[in-house]
Amino acid sequence: MSLSKRRDQLAKLLAENKIKVVFSESCTAGMVCAVLSQCPGISENLCGSAVTYRPETKKQWLWVKANTVKKYSCESEEVADEMAHGALARTKEADWSTSVVGHFGPGAPEEKDGVIWVGVYRRTARDTLKPMGVTRIQLKTETRIQRQKEATEEVFKTLISTINKKNKP
């Protein structure tokens, strides 16, 4: 499926379920929010995105713990989880949040090169923040811009799948 079709699929799902979403992005540098914002009427469902490319910004804006960054690195499952939690905690009007972190090279250790982590949280009816999981995805593309586009599509795909699982009877 193309990025634009996946974007439209997510926009429709958000609108049909009256879901407001906020993103926290690192490796995609705002592309997730920018691509979704191309849909007419998306302002009803898109709260925004915190682009936190550097560790200090992650800590200050999203309350990512310094110890988490030190122990696991910014390109980790643990940081993706804390970013998704922090974005939802700071955006009271949002129902769901999704984060994305990863290393697109050059200079990435082989086991991290082209790997992204996508974290998802939702706000419950009792206003608690519930972790919906963090997914590890190995990207197939090679160049930085290709990887940003692929990662953006994977964020949409992960969020769609998670919302659909939660909404099943």
User: What pTM did the predictor assign?
Assistant: 0.95
pLDDT score at 137? 98
pLDDT score at 110? 83
Q: Is 45 helix (H, G, I), strand (E, B) or coil?
A: coil
pLDDT (tens digit, 9 = 90+) per residue, 123-143? Answer: 999 999 999 999 999 999 999
Rounded Cα distance, 66 and 1, in Å: 38
* Domains assigned to the chain: 3-167 (3.90.950.20)
Q: Which residues of the chain fall short of a pLDDT of 70?
A: 168-169
pLDDT score at 133? 97
CA dihedral for 93, 127, 64, 34, sign (positive or negative): negative
